[in-house]
Amino acid sequence: MEMTGAQILTEALLREGVEMVFGYAGATICPIADALLAAPGLGYTLVRTEQNAGHMASGYARVTGKTGVCIVTSGPGATNLITGIATAYMDSIPLVAVTGQVPSIQLGRDIFQEVDITGAVLPFTKHSYLVKDAAQLPRILKEAFHIASTGRPGPVLIDIPIDVQDQLVQDVEFPEAVQIRGYNPSVRGNDKQIINVAAAISSAQRPVICAGGGVFLARAEEELRDFAARTAIPVVTTMMGLSLFPTEHPLNMGMIGTHGNAAANKALAKSDLLIMIGTRVADRAIFSPDEIQKRMPNIHIDVDPAEIGKNMQSTIPLVGSAKIILQQLMERTLHADCGEWLSQLQALRREELDRTYPEQEGFVFPGRLLKLLGERLREDAAICVDVGQNQIWSCKHLRLKGGRFLTSGGLGTMGYAIPASIGVKTAQRDRQVVAVCGDGSFQMSMNELAAIRARGLDNKILLLRNGVLGLVHQSQTRPPYHGPFGVHLEGDPDFAAIAAAYGIPSLRLNREADVESTLDAFLAEPGPCLLIAEVDPAWRTTD
């Protein structure tokens, strides 16, 4: 069988089960475009800037568990994609990013739209390839999907010069398996350490489970819920672990960290055994690891051995897949006698959940709005949240019944929510999908309203409008700084008119009394809808 490099690429994507490609056209990927034209089995979503191809592929990957794929052109196309790749890397999202490249014989001569993209993304890709021979493409693609999706997942970049895309290869064979001698991630936990973990749990009086995004990545949600239920150990999550448990689940104490809940932070600070599962001890989650490490022993379960001991020394390290390790643990008899500890925390948690909210004429308080939104969402809804005050309010106040909470936790990339929610919707048309943005982050991705319209999607977007980059504003109005600078969004457009220009209806909300009926109307809208909620710029995330 004779195939071009570009045809090998599309055939390999189909063999990997890829159904959707997110991309943007360009001169150096014309051969790939031609191959896509002849591969109707591969869906294609045209983004409006390449960064969002990465975010859409990320949203797609996170809800399907499959590897997200994006294809962009060389030079500026590739550099625009960098933020998407770095965002995925920080949150360990499996992506295969394909970039076009100038002809291989001209590499290094700074010709039109040439950039060393494999060099540029080196620090934040799991692996990368610069393809010099199309005959290697079947192997490279097989490896790329394997590396992206196994162990600790992450983005893999494949840079393909245009002449390699056009190169004819005879007798193409697609490998069934990969053989990479330097890559063999651990899956099963060490049996001796499993026994040690079980023993530590049995002797703890105030244990706490701290679960992170790694639990989703390992698809260990069920195992974690079983494990917590069986041991009745209270659970806190990181931001990336939100929605592992419903907000009101009796064992869920909320989110830890700088912007976390009081009950969750108390659980962490006062516990006598910290059981970390799929979390990397990030600074926003565990602010002072040295202090925590001194106070209590910790069990650290992670698929990436380098995370253990990186930010905090571990008492009982356990390397492997969270799913398999939790199964191994549940094969043992687990005793945890911490009923009193749990009821103390539950009382504090209840107080937090039953709190009241500030009111201000002409505005709606985001906390109450998000609580009521969460209560109205379907159980399996996906909610994609941007970065800034909107993110912190969502983490604190959304009443999740389950479903999936998605945000850019590690890199904190503004503009993530809308493209990620499009990625989710593209994969799962029947799923209820809502994006939450501030007016800063909305304007970073509002061009993707075109993708919503072009693909006939029914995404809902909640825009918390306060005319300010609120979270930075909060920092700038605290010592040692002397006041806000460069955070007032003067020149904000009429957002309803922006939506209308894309044929998307909108609703406005500026009275607490209207919140429930407006949310009902918003969610009942059959197509896409933008809800603009007026938020007092004086409100802080701590209110």
Partner 1 sequence: MKQTISVLVENQAGVLNRITSLFSRRAFNIDSLAVGVTDDPSLSRITIIVDSGNSVVEQVEKQLNKLVEVIKVRRLDESALVGRELMIIKVSANKNNREHIMTICNICGAKAADISPTSMTLEISDTPERVRTFEDMMRPFNILEVARTGVIALQKGSGKI
Contact between 183 and partner 1 per CB under 8 A: yes
Count residues binding partner 1 (CB under 8 A).
18
Contact between 118 and partner 1 per CB under 8 A: yes
Which segment (35-43, 174-182, 267-275, 357-365) binds partner 1 by CB under 8 A? 174-182
Contact between 139 and partner 1 per CB under 8 A: no
Which segment (91-99, 265-273, 305-313, 496-504) binds partner 1 by CB under 8 A? 305-313
Instruction: Please say which residue, 164 or 504, places its beta carbon nearer to partner 1.
Output: 164
Instruction: Please say which residue, 306 or 347, places its beta carbon nearer to partner 1.
Output: 306
Distance of CA 434 to the CA centre of its chain: 14
Which segment (71-79, 307-315, 346-354, 383-391) binds partner 1 by CB under 8 A? 307-315
Q: Residue from 309, 358, 503, 505 that binds partner 1 (CB under 8 A)?
A: 309
Q: 370: Cβ–Cβ under 8 A, 6 or more apart, which residues? A: 393, 394, 397, 398, 399, 436
The three-class DSSP label of residue 393 is helix
Instruction: Please say which residue, 313 or 344, places its beta carbon nearer to partner 1.
Output: 313
Comparing CA positions, the residue from 264, 237, 478 lying closest to residue 352 is 264
CB of 305 to partner 1, least distance (A): 5
- Ramachandran angles phi, psi of 307, nearest 5°: -75, -25
Contact between 127 and partner 1 per CB under 8 A: yes
Structure tokens, 120 = 């540029």
Q: At what angle do helices 339-353 and 262-270 cross, to 10 degrees?
A: 160
CB of 60 to partner 1, least distance (A): 24
Comparing CA positions, the residue from 408, 306, 463, 427 lying closest to residue 61 is 427
CB of 114 to partner 1, least distance (A): 17
Q: How far apart are alpha carbons 215 and 218 in whole angstroms? A: 5
Q: 143: Cβ–Cβ under 8 A, 6 or more apart, which residues? A: 127, 178, 180
Instruction: Please say which residue, 366 or 410, places its beta carbon nearer to partner 1.
Output: 410
Q: Residue from 9, 63, 71, 147 that binds partner 1 (CB under 8 A)?
A: 147
Neighbours of 494 (CB within 10 A): 11
SS3 per-residue string spanning 34-84: HHHHCCCCCEEEECCCHHHHHHHHHHHHHHHCCCEEEEECCCHHHHHHHHH
Instruction: Please say which residue, 127 or 259, places its beta carbon nearer to partner 1.
Output: 127
Contact between 150 and partner 1 per CB under 8 A: no
Sign of torsion, CA 181 187 188 189?
positive
Contact between 119 and partner 1 per CB under 8 A: yes
CA separation (Å) from 222 to 245, 265, 346, 442, 454? 10, 24, 22, 34, 36
Contact between 158 and partner 1 per CB under 8 A: no
Contact between 425 and partner 1 per CB under 8 A: no
Instruction: Please say which residue, 152 or 225, places its beta carbon nearer to partner 1.
Output: 152
Instruction: Please say which residue, 180 or 454, places its beta carbon nearer to partner 1.
Output: 180
CB of 236 to partner 1, least distance (A): 26
- Ramachandran angles phi, psi of 347, nearest 5°: -65, -45
Instruction: Please say which residue, 131 or 364, places its beta carbon nearer to partner 1.
Output: 131
In a 10 Å sphere around its CB, with 0-12 CB exposed, 13-18 middle and 19+ buried, how is residue 82 labelled? buried
Contact between 310 and partner 1 per CB under 8 A: yes
Does residue 257 contact residue 286 with C-beta atoms inside 8 Å? Answer: yes
Contact between 175 and partner 1 per CB under 8 A: no
CB of 151 to partner 1, least distance (A): 9
Interface ranges with partner 1 (CB under 8 A) = 118-119, 122-123, 126-127, 130, 147, 180-183, 304-306, 309-310, 313
